[in-house]
């Protein structure tokens, strides 16, 4: 019986891996960069121009990821700095617009699609030539449980994150023969600054739908993303990993 070397199934990204993280200044992006650095990978972050002024990381590039040329330049800079790109984690996105669907402003809907879906595509497309040159490469998009379960009041966000799952599947199918794995994580409620700042009554109402009875820590979302970059996930592509504390599970039936 063949026993694979430990390196072949390590659940952490391999040391020296060259990783680009978008949304680098947000709570999830910061945690991802810290965890990747602790795993001895090399990281370049990307975030909005007005978000990168006071960051302490070695390199966070400023780019408008909804703009084709700005995105292309940022990925080229990241590639030049790292000497190649092995992986991309697409953690950039917004979750700002709350409206009932019947009165949802069209401009806000389009803006949310641009920030949460088009930007992910532009990053992946810009990274593709560099990822194709790597020995083993991966993309991990951050989607949301809203993509599969829906989120009343945020139809644009739900639609965009559903698009990310479709993007994951399509790119995985196209790029598997280039040695590029493409997966996504779909978190539910987790401890971003915006969630922590919600009124207790609102947060409690949302937690009531979570069988685990609490919100996730940011690390509990970052960890699965890092796993999907690891050798242990080397045979996984085109998948979306739900990270929701059991949200969506049926809790009624013959036994409770």
> Active-site positions?
157
Quote the Cα angle for 120-235-158, to 5°: 30
Pair of tokens at residue 229 = 């970059």
Cα-only R_g, the chain: 18
Whether residue 39 contacts residue 21, with contact meaning beta carbons closer than 8 Å, is answered with: no
Burial class of residue 103 in the structure, from the number of CB atoms within 10 Å of its CB (0-12 exposed, 13-18 middle, 19+ buried): exposed
Residue 222 to residue 44: CA distance in whole angstroms? 16
Whether residue 48 contacts residue 100, with contact meaning beta carbons closer than 8 Å, is answered with: no
| DSSP annotation string for 96-156 | -----GGG--HHHHHHHHIIIIIHHHHHHHHHHHHHHHSSSEEEEEE--THHHH--TT-HH
Whether residue 226 contacts residue 28, with contact meaning beta carbons closer than 8 Å, is answered with: no
- Residue 48, SS3? coil
Whether residue 148 contacts residue 165, with contact meaning beta carbons closer than 8 Å, is answered with: yes
């Amino acid at each position: 019986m063949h026993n694979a070397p430990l390196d072949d199934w390590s659940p952490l990204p391999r040391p020296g891996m060259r990783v680009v993280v978008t949304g680098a200044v947000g709570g999830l992006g910061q945690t991802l960069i810290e965890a990747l650095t602790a795993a001895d990978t090399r990281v370049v972050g990307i975030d909005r121009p007005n978000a990168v002024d006071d960051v302490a990381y070695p390199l966070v590039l400023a780019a408008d990821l909804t703009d084709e040329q700005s995105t292309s330049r940022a990925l080229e800079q990241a590639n030049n700095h790292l000497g190649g790109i092995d992986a991309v984690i697409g953690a950039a996105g917004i979750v700002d617009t709350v409206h009932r669907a019947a009165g949802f402003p069209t401009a806000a809907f389009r803006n949310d699609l641009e920030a949460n879906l088009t930007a992910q595509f532009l990053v992946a497309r810009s990274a593709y030539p560099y990822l194709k040159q790597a020995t083993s490469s991966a993309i991990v998009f951050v989607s949301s449980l809203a993509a599969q379960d829906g989120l009343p009041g945020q139809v644009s966000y739900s639609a965009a994150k559903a698009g990310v799952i479709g993007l994951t599947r399509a790119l995985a199918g196209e790029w598997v023969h280039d040695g590029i794995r493409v997966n996504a994580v779909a978190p539910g409620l987790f401890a971003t600054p915006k969630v922590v700042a919600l009124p207790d009554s609102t947060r409690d109402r949302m937690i009531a739908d979570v069988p685990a009875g609490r919100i996730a820590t940011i690390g509990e979302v970052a960890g699965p993303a890092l796993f999907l970059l690891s050798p242990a996930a080397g045979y996984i592509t085109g998948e979306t990993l739900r990270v929701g504390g059991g949200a969506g599970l049926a809790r009624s039936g013959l036994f409770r």
